[in-house]
């Protein structure tokens, strides 16, 4: 007799969880982006830059930065009730590259953050994802006071494929940072669908 009347309780949904990597050069805004979009207090493993690390960590252009991510940043964002993203910020310094393969396991896609003043710093990340066919988008973190280049100019400078989305953003703004992350999910979805099609036809 209860049918048709009253509110029907929706069964609790078990959310789909997706893993997205956030990569890019040292000081480009990875930790900032993960922290900005995360629903939970992001887990950070920042460490004060030590004297010992100084010759290795190139801080030119990022003066004022005195912490560095030694292992990774970790954040979580629920895009919908049934869709949760786990964000992993990769360490920017070359000497932590051994962690990358571990982090990349099971990743749906990635965001490569770029700073147009030090564009070459993200070459390694772009190269890494291209080689492994991990779909990625490029987020250009627009620091104030820097020249704003159109997305197409950045695409050419990075020699990206035409289908790689390039999104201008501000890693400190939640909506802006979220847009980049969503672009990565969309792009990865399209990429996966294309792959499936090419396997079945
Ligand atoms: N002006 C400005 N500063 C930013 C932006 N994103 C990050 N920063 C600052 O740049 C520095 C490096 O950012 P961080 O997220 O630690 O870089 P990471 O090494 O890639 O994790 C920090 O002091 C941030 O506060 C941005 O969009 N604009
Ligand atoms: Mg960091």
For the chain, which residues make up each domain, given as ranges?
16-200
pLDDT (0 to 100) of residue 133: 95
pLDDT (0 to 100) of residue 1: 46
Ligand nearest to the CA of 24: 1
Encode pLDDT of 156-165 as tens digits: 999 999 999 9
Rank 5-19, 62-76, 109-123 by mean pLDDT and report only the highest: 109-123
Spacing, Cα 27 to ligand 2 middle (Å)? 7
> Which candidate, 130, 109, 125, 117, places its Cα nearest to that of 183?
109
The predicted model gives 84-93 an average pLDDT of 87
Average pLDDT score over the chain: 85
pLDDT category at 63 given cuts 50, 70, 90 is low
Sign of torsion over alpha carbons 102, 76, 124, 97: negative
**Using a 6 Å cutoff on CB, does residue 26 contact ligand 1?**
yes
Q: Which residues fall within 8 angstroms of residue 148, CB to CB, at 6 or more apart?
A: 116, 142, 168
Q: Which residues pair with 24 in a beta bridge?
A: 113
Question: What is the rounded distance in angstroms from the CA atom of residue 100 to the CA atom of residue 72?
Answer: 10
The region of weakest confidence among 21-35, 57-71, 102-116 is 57-71
In the CATH scheme, what is the code of domain 16-200? 3.40.50.300
Question: What is the rounded distance in angstroms from the CA atom of residue 131 to the CA atom of residue 140?
Answer: 21
Identify which has the larger pLDDT, 99 or 18: 18
pLDDT category at 199 given cuts 50, 70, 90 is confident
> Which candidate, 109, 127, 126, places its Cα nearest to that of 191?
109
The minimum-distance atom of ligand 1 relative to the CA of 28 is: 20
pTM for this model (two decimals): 0.82
Ligand nearest to the CA of 177: 1
**Using a 6 Å cutoff on CB, does residue 170 contact ligand 1?**
yes
The minimum-distance atom of ligand 1 relative to the CA of 172 is: 27
Residue 179 clears pLDDT 70, i.e. is over it: yes
> Which candidate, 38, 60, 65, 73, places its Cα nearest to that of 120?
60
Spacing, Cα 141 to ligand 1 middle (Å)? 9
In this structure, are residues 79 and 182 in contact, taking their beta carbons and an 8 Å threshold?
yes
Helix (H) or strand (E) segment spanning residue 6: none
């Amino acid at each position: 007799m209860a049918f048709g009347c009253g509110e029907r309780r929706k069964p609790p949904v078990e959310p789909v969880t997706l893993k997205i990597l956030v990569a890019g050069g040292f000081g480009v805004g990875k930790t900032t982006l993960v922290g900005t979009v995360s629903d939970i207090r992001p887990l950070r493993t920042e460490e004060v830059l030590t004297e010992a690390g100084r010759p290795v960590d190139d801080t030119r252009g990022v003066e004022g930065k005195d912490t560095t991510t030694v292992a990774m940043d970790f954040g979580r964002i629920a895009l919908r009730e049934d869709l949760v993203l786990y964000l992993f910020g990769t360490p920017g310094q070359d000497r932590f590259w051994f962690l990358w393969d571990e982090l990349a396991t099971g990743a749906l896609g990635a965001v490569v953050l770029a700073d147009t003043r030090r564009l070459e710093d993200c070459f390694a990340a772009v190269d890494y994802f291209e080689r492994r066919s991990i779909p990625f988008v490029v987020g250009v973190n627009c620091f104030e006071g820097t020249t704003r280049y159109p997305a197409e100019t950045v695409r050419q400078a990075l020699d990206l494929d035409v289908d790689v989305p390039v999104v201008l953003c501000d890693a400190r703004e939640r909506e802006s940072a979220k847009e980049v992350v969503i672009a990565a999910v969309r792009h990865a979805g399209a990429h996966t669908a294309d792959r499936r099609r090419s396997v079945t036809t």
